[in-house]
Structure 1
Amino acid sequence: MSVIEVRHMAAGYDGREILRDVTLSVTAGEVVAVLGANGSGKSTLIRTVLGLVPVRRGEIDLFGTPQRRFRRWERIGYVPQRLGAGSGVPATVGEVVSSGRLARRGLFRPPGTADRAAVRAALDAVGLLDRIGDPVATLSGGQQQRTLIARALAGRPDLLVLDEPTAGVDAASQEAFAAALTRFAADGGTILLVLHELGPLRPLIGRAVVVHDGRIAHEGVPPEPAGHHAEPGHDHVHPHADEEKAGICEWAPTETKTF
């Protein structure tokens, strides 16, 4: 079954067209990585799929329904770029993860047994069950990002969309991400994630889509890293700049036929 269908899509904001003539299909059970240099449009692509960036031309379907008519958002779990789960919010880890159940239970129904069980299972999946009662502000950056992934998992989605979940976080958290996502995929979940580099997630990725200058430059087997990213001592931890700022990484092709 098709989970995401993007056909000849163009999108952008603030008067800028970031993506041009993008066509992409993701089927149920796939794990697809979107790769590209900073500013290539890779994060804009997934934000457009989720309806966070307006479509200028073309069409998007989610689970067989045109995006503009799609209402079953509980089927999609979204983990944005690292925001700092505890930024000024006096909430516990459990409370943050519990908010991931709102789309399923509704705003006005209190958490039930199933909700509490889903929260504990999600925290156990990312290795943070022992921190369930701790203030989020006391966690490390990597642990806060793991909390955001647990929040998405708690909603029991069919599709998990993640925007650079491993950027700038410690190796232990990256391994925890990989383990949690592997279990999610093994249970039949579909994953679409933006990555700057594959790192410990490489064995999980079934297909890669490389975005270059707002277009898809490669689709298929993940390309091998080049330059210093291929060195054995490279630790895959980078606090990268914002998506729309220019930058260079190993997925930036000098010409499309490189892939």
Structure 2
Amino acid sequence: MSVVEVRHLAAGYDGREILRDVDLSVASGDVVAVLGANGSGKSTLIRTILGLVPVRRGEIDLFGTAQRRFRQWSRIGYVPQRIGAGSGVPATVGEVVASGRLARRGLFRPPGAADRAAVNEALAAVGLLDRIGDPVGTLSGGQQQRTLIARALAGKPDLLVLDEPTAGVDAASQEAFAGALTEFAANGGTIMLVLHELGPLRPLIGRAVVVHDGRIAHEGVPPEPAGHHAEPGHDHVHPHADEAKAGICEWAPTEGTKAY
């Protein structure tokens, strides 16, 4: 079954067109990495699919329904980039993860046994069940990112969308991400990830889509990283930063890749 279908998509904001004539298909059970240099449009592609950036031209279908008519948002779990789990609000780890159940149970229905079980299961998947009662502000940056992934998992989505989940976090958290996502995929889940580089997630990735200058420049086997990212000593961890300033993996078309 098709989970995401993108046809001849053009999108952008602030009067600027960022994506141009993009076609993409994601089937049920696919694990797709969206790669590209900063400013290439990879995050804009994900945000447009989720309805966060307006479509200028083209069409998007989600689970066989036109995006403009799609209402089953509980089927999609989204982990945005560069947002701390605390966000200045005093809450426990368990409370943050429990908020991921709201779309499924409704705002006014109190949590039940199934909700509590889903929260515990999600926290166990990312290795934070022992921190369920701790204030989220006491966690490290990597642990906060793991909390956000647990929040998405708690909603029991069919499609999990993550925007640079490993950027700027420690190696232990990256390994925890890999384990949780591997389990989600093994249970039939569909995953789309925006990444600078694959790191410990490489064995999980079934297909890579490289965005270059607002277009799909490569689709298929993940290409090898270029430049200093290919060096053995490269640590695969980047600080969060503006796209124009951050360290980047220059994923771009190379000889032998499929270009459009």
Q: What TM-score do the two structures reach when normalised by structure 2?
A: 0.96
Q: Which residue of 2 is the match for residue 137 of structure 1?
A: 137
Give CA deviations for 1:204-234 in whole Å, capped at 9, x if unaligned: 0000000000000000000011222122221
Distance 1:120 1:78 in 2: 19
Q: CA contact under 8 A between 2:35 and 2:194: conserved in structure 1?
A: yes
Displacement, 1:246?
A: 8.2
Distance 2:246 2:123 in 1: 35
Distance 1:12 1:234, change over 3 A: same
Distance 1:254 1:44, change over 3 A: same
Distance 2:254 2:187 in 1: 38
Distance 2:230 2:196 in 1: 13
Distance 1:244 1:214 in 2: 15
Distance 1:232 1:116, change over 3 A: same
Q: CA contact under 8 A between 1:41 and 1:243: conserved in structure 2?
A: no
Distance 1:254 1:33 in 2: 17
Q: CA contact under 8 A between 2:79 and 2:163: conserved in structure 1?
A: yes
Distance 1:29 1:230 in 2: 29
Give CA deviations for 1:161-190 in whole Å, capped at 9, x if unaligned: 000000000000000000000000000000
- CA RMSD across the alignment: 1.7
Q: Which residue of 2 is the match for residue 126 of structure 1?
A: 126
Give CA deviations for 1:116-149 in whole Å, capped at 9, x if unaligned: 0000000000000000000000000000000000
Give CA deviations for 1:9-57 in whole Å, capped at 9, x if unaligned: 0000110101000000000000000000000000000000000000000
Q: CA contact under 8 A between 1:38 and 1:241: conserved in structure 2?
A: no
Displacement, 1:82?
A: 2.4
Displacement, 1:240?
A: 4.1
Distance 1:258 1:63 in 2: 27
Distance 2:44 2:245 in 1: 12
Q: CA contact under 8 A between 2:219 and 2:258: conserved in structure 1?
A: no
Distance 1:72 1:165, change over 3 A: same
Q: What TM-score do the two structures reach when normalised by structure 1?
A: 0.96
The alignment covers a number of residue pairs equal to 259
Stretches of structure 1 lacking an aligned partner (at least 5 in a row): none
Displacement, 1:87?
A: 2.3
Give CA deviations for 1:61-105 in whole Å, capped at 9, x if unaligned: 000000000000000000000211112110000000000000010
Name the stretch that deviates more: 233-242 or 31-40.
Answer: 233-242
The 3-state SS of whatever aligns with 1:257 is: coil
Q: What percent of counterpart residues are identical? A: 90
Q: Which residue of 1 is the match for residue 44 of structure 2?
A: 44
Distance 1:245 1:16, change over 3 A: farther
The 3-state SS of whatever aligns with 1:191 is: strand
Residue 257 (structure 1) aligned with residue 239 (structure 2) = no
Distance 1:201 1:253 in 2: 21
The 3-state SS of whatever aligns with 1:237 is: coil
Displacement, 1:248?
A: 4.6
Displacement, 1:249?
A: 2.2
Q: CA contact under 8 A between 1:28 and 1:188: conserved in structure 2?
A: yes
Distance 1:104 1:248, change over 3 A: closer
Distance 2:259 2:188 in 1: 33
Stretches of structure 2 lacking an aligned partner (at least 5 in a row): none
Distance 1:248 1:146, change over 3 A: closer
Distance 1:233 1:246, change over 3 A: closer
Alignment of 1:106-117 (within 5 A): 106-117=106-117
Distance 2:74 2:126 in 1: 20
Displacement, 1:243?
A: 3.9
